[in-house]
């Protein structure tokens, strides 16, 4: 089974993916951003743009995930924002056409919620305390500029199933996805403090300097 977790940048995709992975034995996370940033680094700086515009990215994502789904026995989890209907069809849709059990979920939240999460991701909160206010890094500025359009596109029916997460913690969102996908997660143990620690670790591991 493929769990593709879609949503705006800062919407909780990566945190939810890692929560499911932590509590679902045999699962694996395959992040298409790794391929995208690799292709971006290969490209001369003046020619760099959105790596999703590269046909090689879309084809490569399908090829790698097809391999993983064919040869890996556990669930494959993919946290990736895709808002272009054509690109969505060429990746998520194509994997379904190849016969794989694809479960797609879009995490949505109100604009204010997503902005707060962007401020808190990675070292954002720490930096905010140090300088007295939040100074967004380049990626976060890019995400904020595209937030309104991204949220509107992802609300379209073709990007269902939609899950609103404003009032849900990461573990509860993971539980909802598991129920809808017919999966059983291990109990979430450790309490709120442990949850915050795990989210901080995931955030630090996914800071981008590109």
Taking Cα atoms as reference points, which of 177, 206, 205 lies closest to residue 19?
A: 177
**With bands split at pLDDT 50, 70 and 90, how would you rate the model's confidence at 67?**
very high
Helix (H, G, I), strand (E, B) or coil at 149: helix
pLDDT digits (tens, 9 = 90+) for 89-127: 999 999 999 999 999 999 999 999 999 888 876 444 444
Pairing of strands 76-79, 28-29: parallel
Helix (H, G, I), strand (E, B) or coil at 111: helix
Report whether the peptide linkage leading into residue 161 is cis, meaning its omega lies within 30 degrees of zero: yes
Q: What is the pLDDT of residue 123?
A: 46
pLDDT digits (tens, 9 = 90+) for 13-64: 999 999 999 999 999 999 999 999 999 999 999 999 999 999 999 999 999 9
Q: What is the CA radius of gyration of the chain?
A: 17
Q: What is the pLDDT of residue 198?
A: 73
Higher pLDDT, 143 or 77: 77
User: 112 forms bridges with which residues in the sheet?
Assistant: none
pLDDT digits (tens, 9 = 90+) for 150-169: 999 999 999 999 999 999 99
Distance of CA 118 to the CA centre of its chain: 13
pLDDT digits (tens, 9 = 90+) for 177-194: 999 999 999 999 877 777
Q: Which domains does the chain have, with CATH numbers?
A: 2-205 (3.40.50.300)
């Amino acid at each position: 089974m493929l769990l593709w977790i879609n949503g705006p940048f800062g919407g909780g995709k990566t945190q939810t993916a890692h929560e499911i992975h932590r509590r679902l034995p045999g699962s694996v996370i395959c992040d298409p951003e790794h391929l995208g940033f690799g292709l971006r680094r290969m490209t001369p700086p003046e020619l760099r743009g959105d790596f999703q515009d590269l046909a090689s990215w879309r084809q490569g994502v399908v090829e790698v995930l097809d391999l993983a789904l064919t040869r890996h026995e556990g669930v494959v989890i993919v946290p990736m924002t895709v808002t272009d209907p054509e690109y969505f069809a060429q990746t998520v849709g194509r994997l379904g056409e190849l016969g794989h059990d694809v479960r797609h979920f879009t995490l949505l939240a109100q604009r204010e919620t997503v902005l707060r999460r962007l401020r808190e991701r990675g070292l954002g909160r720490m930096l905010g305390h140090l300088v007295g206010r939040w100074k967004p890094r380049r990626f976060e500025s890019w995400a904020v500029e595209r937030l309104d359009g991204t949220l509107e596109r992802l609300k379209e029916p073709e990007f269902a199933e939609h899950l609103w997460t404003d009032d849900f913690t990461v573990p509860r969102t993971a539980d909802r996805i598991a129920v809808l996908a017919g999966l059983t997660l291990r109990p979430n143990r450790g309490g709120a403090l442990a949850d915050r620690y795990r989210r901080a670790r995931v955030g630090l591991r996914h800071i981008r300097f590109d």
